Chain A
Amino acid sequence: QKEVEQNSGPLSVPEGAIASLNCTYSDRGSQSFFWYRQYSGKSPELIMFIYSNGDKEDGRFTAQLNKASQYVSLLIRDSQPSDSATYLCAVDYSGGYQKVTFGTGTKLQVIP
């Protein structure tokens, strides 16, 4: 069973702080990793994808990938109340056609 593990939270951070969301996965051969944001009652929305070890930055978001440790994280700088949502980590176990397995998500609460 190929798994994606996330702490369900809630993770509470004050406005303006850095939020750190973490995800581990079970298959060392995985190549593609995705972060989706899901507001309550809405469908998931792609934030970032990462394929290579290291960091990938996009605005206030940074994805970090460590394949040796089978660990992927998402950092949100200068957190805003509008960032309050559930963040889903997804891993492509299909070898490229993006049949991804999702974690259960981490609920983030940004406190004004």
Chain B
Amino acid sequence: GAGVSQTPSNKVTEKGKYVELRCDPISGHTALYWYRQSLGQGPEFLIYFQGTGAADDSGLPNDRFFAVRPEGSVSTLKIQRTERGDSAVYLCASSLGGGEGYTFGSGTRLTVV
């Protein structure tokens, strides 16, 4: 596609529920990143995919968070047993991997009530 697409744009869920956030990167971008951003803060790294594999998942806060990219394109970030502290904007970005910087999607605003 022309840009990085993230769905849904907004998600409100109850504490304890499971959520899935989807990212469709720019066509041909092999590198995909998930970040999350809280109000007044810079984006915080979660996980990086090169192709289908998670090359670096050191930013995932705990084992409630998991992400996949089974065919090397679309990625899904999965959060189990959501907590109020998970509320943030979840940003997906993609790149060609050549050091030229990212293109971000418009983000998913997750609110856990």
Contact = CB atoms under 8 A, between A and B. Distances in A.
A97 B101 contact: no
Interface residues of B, number: 26
Interface in B31-72: 31, 33, 35, 40-45, 48, 50, 55-56
Interface stretch (A14-22, A43-51, A52-60, A70-78): A43-51
B102 A42 contact: no
A98 B99 contact: yes
Interface residues of A, number: 26
Interface stretch (B13-21, B79-87, B103-111): B103-111
Interface of B: 31, 33, 35, 40-45, 48, 50, 55-56, 89, 91, 95, 97, 99-107
23 contacts: A8-B40, A36-B101, A43-B89, A43-B105, A43-B106, A44-B43, A44-B104, A45-B104, A46-B102, A49-B100, A88-B42, A92-B99, A96-B99, A97-B97, A98-B99, A98-B101, A99-B33, A99-B45, A99-B48, A99-B56, A102-B35, A102-B42, A104-B42
